Structure 1
């Protein structure tokens, strides 16, 4: 089946997202493990992805755990250090596709305020033909409604979308809706898939 548009997840596809790595570096692995066992930081982040206010949500969460207040606030205050670095090869693939006139969309679980902030640090986030950001849409992957909203908006039939995501549950929902999918495990595999689909030449995919 021919591909009419390519859909990129962002976290761990275009930008590394490894909060545990940040905390291991800043407070040490032992303290990080203790904090993550006690404080549901990923649950907190899920609220932001669903559209809750970035600052208000994290600062409120921090007050619930006074013994970890400063560390929880780091998720907000030093957020760009958690969402780093960019994955250069993936960024080149995004830009190569657009240079050939192939529509490129983002479909990402991301909060409103921190996505806007990220676009000032990573200019390539402004280079999508369409941005589907969960915080704006008030629904997240892997739940069906966000995929339905993409289909209704983009004008491309599901079977003509090629979607790369690092999380298999997000891939499975897309596949069940008829999307073509790629489980992202590194940029070289994604590059190879784009070449196999005839979207990029081997030179363009380097």
Structure 2
């Protein structure tokens, strides 16, 4: 089935998202392991992705754990260092598709305020034809309603969407709805898929 639009996840597809790596560098691996064992930081971040306020959520979480208050606040205060660096080959692929006038959408679990901040650091986040940001939608992957909302809004039949994501659970929901999918494990594999589907030439996908 011909592809009409390509849908990108953002974290670990266009921008690396490795909070543990940041904390290992800043506070050391042993302290990071202790903190992550005691504090559900990813659960905190899930609330932000669901649309809770970025600053309020993290600062309130920090107050629950006084012994880790400063470290938890780093998730907010130094957030752009957690969401870094960009993945240059993936960005080139996004832009190559748009240069060929192939619609490119973002479908991402991302908070409202931190997504807006990220767009000031990573200009390519402003270059999607449509942005489906979980915090704005109050829905998150891998749950079905966010995919339904994308389908209803964009008007592209599910079987004509090609979606890449680094999380297999997100991929599986899309596949169950009839989307064409690619499990992202590296930019070169994604480039190869875009070439094999005839969306880019080998030269355009470098």
The two structures have a TM-score, normalised by structure 1, of 1.00
Partner of residue 39, structure 1: 39
Partner of residue 180, structure 2: 180
Structure 1 runs of 4+ aligned residues shifted over 2 Å read: none
Q: Distance in 2 between matches of 1:144 and 1:184?
A: 20
Query: Cα RMSD over matched residues?
Result: 0.2
Please list every run of 5 or more consecutive structure 2 residues that lacks an aligned counterpart in the other structure: none
Partner of residue 107, structure 2: 107
Q: Distance in 2 between matches of 1:197 and 1:116?
A: 32
Number of equivalenced pairs: 206
Q: Distance in 2 between matches of 1:12 and 1:2?
A: 26
**Post-superposition CA distance 1:39-92 (Å, at most 9, x none):** 000000000000000000000000000000000000000000000000000000
User: What is the deviation of 1:127?
Assistant: 0.0
User: What is the deviation of 1:12?
Assistant: 0.1
Partner of residue 76, structure 1: 76
Q: Equivalent residue of 1:6, what SS? A: strand
- Aligned runs of 1:45-194 on 2, under 5 Å? 45-194=45-194
Q: Distance in 1 between matches of 2:127 and 2:151?
A: 20
User: What is the deviation of 1:26?
Assistant: 0.1
Q: Distance in 2 between matches of 1:155 and 1:129?
A: 13
